[in-house]
Amino acid sequence: METFAQSLVSGVLTGALYAMIGIGLTVVFGVMKIINLAHGEMVMLGMFGAFWGQALWHLDPFVSLVVWTPLMFVVGMLTYRFLLRKIIPGGELNTLLYTAGLSLLIANVALFVWKGDYRTISLSYGMTPVRPFGIAIAVPLAIAFGLAIAITVALWLFLSRTNLGRAIRATSQNPEAATLMGVDVERVAVVTFGLGTALAGAAGVLLAPSLYLYPTVGELLLVKCFVIVVLGGLGSVPGAIAGGILLGVVESLGAVYVSATYKDGIGFVLFLAVLLYRPSGLFGVGK
């Protein structure tokens, strides 16, 4: 029972970080109907931002969140403004292929600059876990979980309480009606892509102390992201949160009761089962 509780808690904590990756992709798709295949590379850039912030400037990775999140927001806006805006009218297939090429470009530039070495972030307070109720929890993972919750709540408040957030929601529901009501859909698109990229970068910063860093890690994270959004229903933010936590729990329990070697494979089996029996997602609206 203690092993089950330990695995469950670890899965929930990790799943909350997975959810942040999925939320970024979901927000962009919900408004712009873009499946951004470079999303995993944006997470990777956030991870390396945290790593180099500590290596070069001795900046705590969690403190560096206030640096890299706004920077990734700007990166996202510039990416949309100069690289994607003219591609989108060509259709979803063009956008899919373009972002796939962008993903390969970013990963290979990172591989050329930073080489293929595996790196880790060591934190002095990460050596000894805390043990509430006898369950061992890594301190960096607990901090990352708390920050992920705070960022998610801030996103919800932004989308529900601000005029720009309401404009984003209106555009995601009906772009034509939003335009007729005076919403600047182009401005909303720029901000939305920046927001999705910022969420990806923030997720990378929070994940960095708990994962190995290497330039092609974005490929694995993108696959996990697709598992999450399929589980939750593409375009649903609450679904992305639930899907991320579910994936984290399934991976954690699978590593203990099946095999740590097949941890990722267990998540993919769940992914295929949902695609087969409920394509709209576990939390989506079925047809």
- The pLDDT of residue 280 is 73
231 in Cβ contact with 271 (< 8 Å): yes
- The pLDDT of residue 206 is 95
CA distance 18 to 207: 9
Is residue 48 one of the residues assigned to a domain? yes
CA distance 274 to 145: 26
- The pLDDT of residue 39 is 95
Is residue 149 one of the residues assigned to a domain? yes
Is residue 58 one of the residues assigned to a domain? yes
- The pLDDT of residue 168 is 93
> What's the per-residue H, E or C state across the chain?
CHHHHHHHHHHHHHHHHHHHHHHHHHHHHHHHCCCCCCHHHHHHHHHHHHHHHHHHHCCCCCCCHHHHHHHHHHHHHHHHHHHHCCCHHHCHHHHHHHHHHHHHHHHHHHHHHHCCCCECCCCHHHCCCECHHHCCECHHHHHHHHHHHHHHHHHHHHHHHCHHHHHHHHHHHCHHHHHHCCCCHHHHHHHHHHHHHHHHHHHHHHHHHHCCECCCHHHHHHHHHHHHHHHHCCCCHHHHHHHHHHHHHHHHHHHHHCCHHHHHHHHHHHHHHHHHHCCCCCCCCCC
Is residue 134 one of the residues assigned to a domain? no
- The pLDDT of residue 285 is 52
Mean pLDDT by 10-residue block, N- to C-terminus, for the chain (287 residues)? 86 92 90 90 96 94 94 96 88 90 96 93 88 87 95 94 93 90 92 95 94 92 87 80 90 84 79 80 60
Is residue 133 one of the residues assigned to a domain? no
Give the number of domains in the chain.
Answer: 1
Q: What is the dihedral of CA 140, 144, 145, 148, to 10 degrees?
A: 180
Q: Could you list the residue range(s) of the whole structural domain that residue 113 is in?
A: 13-123+139-216
Is residue 179 one of the residues assigned to a domain? yes
Structure-block tokens of residue 195:
């927001």
197 in Cβ contact with 57 (< 8 Å): no
238 in Cβ contact with 84 (< 8 Å): no
Q: Which amino acid makes up residue 219?
A: E
